[in-house]
């Protein structure tokens, strides 16, 4: 068994660590058909987030055919950033959040087999920003296609940290 990935980004708060990574939480566009988060008690269910930045989808295609692994990891990282933005909408403060579970959908051919490597981009961001509260259970699955032909979509379940 390997040792857990250390949290190495400096900063006293999650927002400071985001800034030290050169990132900021985006403003998520509203949708008439669903909400980006739904809170049930201490649980926060985050709707599937795509790798949008300023209203622009950062990539399209199938991982392992149109999109290389490193690009897919970056897209997963950005989709996770959008999930964090949805959590802040629900809770107001990243330092009050613990990620419980992350589900990563990867548009990929049947023989790709590296969906978990794509998901690592998102997992790394969560640990860099939230430390131990970013460690999570995770499922990464390959699918035939995703909305808007995006390579990656991420859904999360979080809770308020105690």
Domain at 69, CATH number: 3.30.1330.40
Residues 133, 98 contacting (CB under 8 angstroms): yes
* Cα separation of the two ends of the chain: 28
Own/partner pairs for 2-11, CB < 8 Å, 24+ apart?
4/135, 5/123, 5/124, 5/127, 7/127, 7/128, 7/131, 7/132, 7/134, 8/128, 9/128, 9/129
Domain count, the chain: 1
Strand-pairing partners, residue 82, are: none
Strand-pairing partners, residue 101, are: 137, 157
Predicted local distance difference test score (pLDDT) of residue 8 = 74
- In a domain, residue 27? The reply is no
Does 3 score more than 80 pLDDT?
no
- In a domain, residue 28? The reply is no
**Prediction pTM value:** 0.94
Q: What residues contact residue 56 under an 8 Å CB cut-off, 6+ apart?
A: none
- In a domain, residue 3? The reply is no
Could you tell me the residue range of the domain that residue 70 belongs to?
14-21+36-160
Which tokens sit at 28?
């998520």
Instruction: For residue range 5-58, list pLDDT tens digits in order.
Output: 566 788 889 999 999 999 999 999 888 999 999 999 999 999 999 999 999 999
Q: What residues contact residue 155 under an 8 Å CB cut-off, 6+ apart?
A: 46, 47, 48, 49, 83, 102, 103, 105
Predicted local distance difference test score (pLDDT) of residue 2 = 52
């Amino acid at each position: 068994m390997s040792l857990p990935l250390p949290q190495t980004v400096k900063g006293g708060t999650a927002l400071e660590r985001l800034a030290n990574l050169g990132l900021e939480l985006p403003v998520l566009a509203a949708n008439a058909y669903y909400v980006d988060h739904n809170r049930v008690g201490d649980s926060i269910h985050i709707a599937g987030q795509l790798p949008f930045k300023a209203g622009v989808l950062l990539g399209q295609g199938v991982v392992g055919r149109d999109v290389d692994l490193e690009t897919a990891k970056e897209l997963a990282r950005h989709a996770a950033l959008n999930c964090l933005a949805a959590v802040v909408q629900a809770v107001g403060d990243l330092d009050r959040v613990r990620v419980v579970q992350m589900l990563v959908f990867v548009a990929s051919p049947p023989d790709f087999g590296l969906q978990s490597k794509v998901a690592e981009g998102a997992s790394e961001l969560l640990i860099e920003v939230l430390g131990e509260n970013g460690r999570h259970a995770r499922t990464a699955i390959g699918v035939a296609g995703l909305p808007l032909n995006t390579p990656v979509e991420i859904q999360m379940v979080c809770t308020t940290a105690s």
